[in-house]
Structures are given as structure tokens and as C-alpha cells.
Structure 1
């Protein structure tokens, strides 16, 4: 990781090179969030992104004496983070959504049993004030599509399309040739184009006004809280999908989702719901809290899932319910609601 010298030493960089860890912390602090997002795109898991970023910054700290300013510190840190992620991709494999594993369920499945042998894709909490391109680059369809790419193609596409690296810079980052990078980009673009809708969620959200968006999110939440399956199904597109990682089964089409909604989340036997609006993966989402049907009326609703909504126009085209209280903690949400 050594580079040739150019003159751009900041005081903190000079201090950090001589072992001042506080100076190193000040250098990387403004870049932590974007580096974490980069690791999430590469790995499909905020938890894995934690591990990758921690490891990458440790590697960078140990190798900082070899950073001599040929590139910016930001570019160098992205190089370290990318190589760290590639090591994790090789060690841990890719993450999946239920739609990646098999066909949609033909009947409603009850008695849910989590599938623990699958590494599941996870949600990403939105950053307030994030730019359009930042939100677009963590949309669920895009991150899920990246998981189908080999590590080198995944890295090349993210570095080129999201971060604006040149093919030559990517070649240096990945220790390969420019020709290999261009070939990886070509293959990666083809696969991603097959899996990602032509209209991004950011484009879809711009086409409806804020009031209508609030109506859709509120309508989804209130319909579940009332157990009103008709109102919920009225918000859906004809080809809607509903999945619930870590459950392997999923539903496709309005009729199948209608049957699922009536039998499970909108049924009294499922318990009572409360919701909080959140933002996840650059998309509208709600945090779901559930009180079991056998709980006392004054019992709290406990964290259940983060439901990420994919819109087409002003209708919901997909619901991805990431089940698990650990997601609420990631979003800075309480573990229960009174």
C-alpha cells in the first residue's frame, strides 16, 4: 500500500503517521459514514459493514506510514476498505433475499420458522439530508443485485458507477489491469440491468408529491393496525411481492398477497400492531411493533420488523419485511412501544 510522495500533508496526517491515534481519528471521522455505506453496498449487511470498516481502519492505521500522498487520503481509504470487503466476500459469500432462493409460495405458510443457514440481506438506515445519488446507491434492488456479482465485478461497478473512480484507479485499487476492470464492468452492468428496474426509487418518489407519499405510508400502517385487509390490498400493484427475511417463503401477485395479508398480519390471531415511519435504503419504510394476541391489553408492543416499501407510482410494488429486533437498534429505535 505504499505510494510516492506529493506535497499535501495536513497537520493531523503528519501526526498520525508518527503514531498519534487521536489525529488519525480526526482524519477519518468525516469519512466514516460514507465508507460504512460503501462496505454495506459491497456486503449487503450493516453488521458485516461494521466488521469491514473496523478492520479496514485498523489496516489503514497500521499501513499509514506507507501512505505518501499520491492519491487523496479518501481514495486511499476506499482502496483499503474495498480490499477488506473483497476478503470478506470471499470468506462469507453473498447475501440473499427470499426471492433469490426459489419460487413464490403457492399457499399461505403459517407457523413461520426462520431459515438460519442463509446469509440474509439486511436493511440500511437512511442518513438525514443524504444526496440523491447517495440514496439511489443503497436502494434495495441495487444492493440485492450487487450480491449476484462476483467480488471483483461488484467492486468495479460500485467504484465506477457510485464513487466515480476511473478504470485506471480501480485497476490500482484491485491490483489488476485496466482491461480486466473494463471487462468486469461490462459483465456487471449487464447482470444489474436485468435485475434492477429501469426507474429508480428516487425517480418514482419524485413523481408523487410528499402528501401522497405520506398517505401511502400512513395507509399501510393504519390498515395493519386496524386489521383492514381491503384497505391494505388497495394500496398494492397487481404484481406486488411480499417477503420476510429470515423466512424463506414469499408471495407474488395481488391474489397471493391478499390471501397472506388476511391470514397473517391483518388477522387478529397475529396480535396487535403499532408502527413508526422511518427511511431505509433510500425508500419509505415503517418500523413494526407487535403485541401477541395472548398478551394483556396494557402489554407493550415489541420490535418486530423493518418494512421497506418499494413504490411504483403511488402504489406499493414490494414489501420487504426484515424481521428482527436487532434492526430497530440499528435504526436507533426503541425496543418497545407502550
Structure 2
């Protein structure tokens, strides 16, 4: 077989694994952009080393080894991405102050299609969606890098301990020990359980329809009826976060009243419902990007709304239009 044919086969093999590798790197790094860069670096390294790939492991295992090393190199800088709740205490609306932090601080949202390979197994799909939830990926960031890799490979991707040990050039005992410590750290995070919402069931569809109606109508009484009593609102890149429907609606009627008159366009992020929020401009009937809202639901109520405000980054990634006209709705 010619070298060009071999390289062509490699190209096909690399692309076959792109989405699952991006999901792995996203869980490791907490950034969709960094994950895509890591996968591209993985492919470049695979190309350069392919003549030394002897096939003693599968192409998939070999790519995961390279991707893990790429992520560990990127994490050596010591940065870990966070949510506002990881950095500050909640502020009562009366004393709320917007304090901006650099982009590198924040855990980032990601479209499902970039990180979740299609599968015919509903149970496998549900697990995959659960493990890209913002809260879960944020909890992973509290683990040392190698523990993070072990937990993802063992708990999310269901690799055997012996396979992980071979990938990391360590022993099975070390892998099991790292997994035990990682599980303990994740358990300490006490993540709130949220309902799986992709695809939405009828009750969830009705809840989100009511949310869109309440938000676009800026009806705080209606919005309050949809929120859990200890719901959380946050707005990266600001480290402010608010909890409880009193402070959330108080914010929206105060500083947040600039959102009045907005329109919402549905999408999906991190396995949960999301919306592109568009703000009215001075041109009648024309709307511009304002925020990507990621919404989490539990027990028939909204428990968390994360407003990612850097729309120049998020709207292209989520294929959201760069403006809306009222006539388009």
C-alpha cells in the first residue's frame, strides 16, 4: 500500500474520532475552543508519528493517549476554569456589584454536536449528556489533571483500569487509587441533580414555553412561578451570582432591566436547553445578540440560568444568527 493511501486512511480514522475526542478534551479543559485546539494538535502529532505507530493498540486508544498528553501539557500552566459559584459568595441584589474577570477564568458552554457522538443507545446518550453538564465539568476542574483523566476515562468512557494504566504509563493500583480520590472530591461538590432535557418531554416543553413567554413579556410574577426557590442566576464574565427568585427578579427589574423587550431563540448547550437572547436596537424591529442563556431544570422548575455574555464567541459557535428582525419571528 502506498504512503499516500496510508495517510488517506489515517485522515478518515482521525475524523471518525473527532467528536468523541473533542468531548474528552472539553471535559479535561472546560473550554470548547481549547478542546478543538487540543484535538487539532492531537491530529498533527498523530500525522507526524504515524510511521512509528505499530498497531499494538487500536487507533482510538493511540489517539486518546496523544490527546491526554496534549491536555496535560495545556493544564501544566495551572489554570482551571470555573463558574462564578466557585469563586465568590452569592450577593444580595441590594449590594450586587458587577466585577469582570478575564476570559481564561471561565468554564465555557459548548454545543452538544461538537462533543457528543451520535449513538443509537438512549442510555449511553443520557450518560454522555449528563457528563457535559456545566456543573459536572466545573466539578472536574477541581481535580488534579491526571485524576481528571482517570475519572473521565473510567467513569465516563468506561475504559478498563488496565487500559487506563497502559495509556498513562502507570499501574492498575495507581489508577484505582486515583479514581477513588477523584470520586471523593466530586462527591464533596454536592452537585444538584437536574433533569435530562434533550429530547424534551411534554412537561419540559411547556415549562420552557412559559419561560420564553415570561421572559419576552418581562413578567416577573410569571417568571417567579417557574423558578425554584433557590434558583441561581450568573453572568460570566462577571463573577456576580444571585440565588432565590426574590434576588433574581429584583436584579431583572433593576440593573438587569436592560433585558426588557428581548427575544429568545432556542438551542441546546451542555446537554440542556439554551437560548440565544437578542436585545432590541435603536432600529425598530431589529435585535442584536445579548447573551447565551443555558437553562437547567429539576422537578418541573428552573434551577439555574447561566447567561454567557461574550456573544462574539458564543453565537457563531452555536450557529445563532448575528441579528434578528421582528419580521423573521
> In structure 2, do the counterparts of structure 1 residues 118 and 35 end up closer, same or farther at CA, with 3 Å as the change threshold?
closer
Give the distance between the partners of 1:155 and 1:200, measured in 2 at CA: 24
Match of 1:330 among 305, 311, 317: 317
Structure 1: runs of 5 or more not aligned: 1-13
Count of residues in Structure 1 that have an aligned counterpart in Structure 2: 316
Question: Structure 1 residue 153: deviation in Å?
Answer: 0.7
CA contact (8 A) 2:103 2:237 kept: no
- Normalised to the residue count of structure 2, the TM-score between the two structures is 0.89
Give the distance between the partners of 2:76 and 2:103, measured in 1 at CA: 17
**1:135 match:** 129
**1:150 match:** 144
Q: CA RMSD in A?
A: 2.3
CA contact (8 A) 2:194 2:297 kept: no
Question: Structure 1 residue 107: deviation in Å?
Answer: 2.6
CA deviation profile, 1:147-182 (whole Å, cap 9, x unmatched):
111101100000001111112211221222222211
Moved more, 92-101 or 114-123: 114-123
CA contact (8 A) 2:99 2:240 kept: no
**1:278 match:** 267
**1:289 match:** 278
**1:6 match:** none
1:319 maps to 2:308:
no
* 3-state DSSP of counterpart to 1:123: coil
Give the distance between the partners of 1:162 and 1:63, measured in 2 at CA: 28
Match of 2:54 among 68, 71, 74: 68
Question: Structure 1 residue 144: deviation in Å?
Answer: 0.8
Give the distance between the partners of 2:159 and 2:225, measured in 1 at CA: 44
- Normalised to the residue count of structure 1, the TM-score between the two structures is 0.86
Moved more, 157-166 or 187-196: 187-196
> In structure 2, do the counterparts of structure 1 residues 26 and 209 end up closer, same or farther at CA, with 3 Å as the change threshold?
closer
* 3-state DSSP of counterpart to 1:249: strand
**2:188 match:** 194
**1:7 match:** none
Match of 2:77 among 70, 78, 91: 91
Give the distance between the partners of 2:240 and 2:155, measured in 1 at CA: 33
> In structure 2, do the counterparts of structure 1 residues 313 and 35 end up closer, same or farther at CA, with 3 Å as the change threshold?
same
Match of 2:248 among 244, 257, 263: 257
Structure 2: runs of 5 or more not aligned: 120-124
